[in-house]
Amino acid sequence: VADVGILTALGGVGGLLTLRGWGWLCDRFGSRPVLQVGSILWALAGLAAWTFAGERFFWHLAASYLVIGGTTACFQLCQFNLMLKLAPANKAPYVAVFLALTSALAAVGPLLGGLILRWLPDELGTLLGQTIRDYHVLIALSMLGCLLSTHLLGFVNEAEAHPPEAVWRTMRRMQPFNPMLTLGSAAQLLVSPGGLLAMAHQSIRLVRRQVKAIGNVGEVLVGGTADAIRSRLPGDDSGRGP
């Protein structure tokens, strides 16, 4: 349980270290290409890390969780930005459908994974002296599904979006996405009082920003619902009342 807590905390640190960089990339290149790059990195990092994870070899997951935490922040930021950008002026129905679908799929995923684990045998052989277990197969299927689904983003038409190759080239020169600098920044955050205070300050700013964004979405939803109710009332100026 303690190891899981450490890995989860490292995922949060990875998100904090890279969130500002993802936002800058979205502003410059568009949300769609950044989402494509982040999804590919998330799938490849998870596939590479969990393929070799086992009872005797698992500490490499610490580095992978930094990467996965950063790419998860990218996914959450870009998908919501893209939805708000592509939705028409009356965003309330689109926001509602988006949240409903993502919540439904998030609920179905663990159930489907549990069924697959029940169907698979516990052990399926060995690879490089490491036992291949059922969760290795499940994670590999999940990562491959993510890689295949990134091609669907090619059908999304975002105005003034750059190609993903431009995002790759720029990321290599940015500190939040340089592996050595990211690990050094994470170590500084975890072992120094100043780093911990800076992380707490950044976390508070991030929470305030998210609360403000959620409040804006709530106002849109409430406003759209109120307009729909008024349009159905008798005597409405639009003449659509019963």
Domain of 52: which CATH number? 1.20.1250.20
Residues 90 and 76 in one domain: yes
Please list the ranges in the chain whose pLDDT falls under 70: 1-2, 54-58, 128-129, 175-176, 178-242
Note the pLDDT tens digit of each residue in 139-188.
888 888 888 888 888 888 888 888 888 888 888 777 667 654 454 444 44
Residues 170 and 224 in one domain: no
Residues 217 and 186 in one domain: no
pLDDT at 192: 47
pLDDT at 18: 85
Residues 152 and 213 in one domain: no
Residues 196 and 163 in one domain: no
- Long-range residue pairs from 125-133, CB within 8 A, at least 24 positions apart, any chain: 127/51, 128/52, 130/52, 130/54, 130/57, 131/54, 133/54
What's the domain count of the chain?
A: 2
Supply the range of the domain harboring residue 155: 2-191
Residues 123 and 215 in one domain: no
Residues 180 and 206 in one domain: no
pLDDT at 230: 62
pLDDT at 212: 65
Find out whether 80 and 26 touch, Cβ atoms under 8 Å: no
Q: How far is CA 181 from CA 172, 185, 188, 226, in A?
A: 11, 6, 10, 50
Residues 171 and 208 in one domain: no
pLDDT at 97: 86
In angstroms, how far is the first alpha carbon of the chain from the final one? 59
Residues 174 and 232 in one domain: no
Residues 124 and 214 in one domain: no
pLDDT at 29: 92
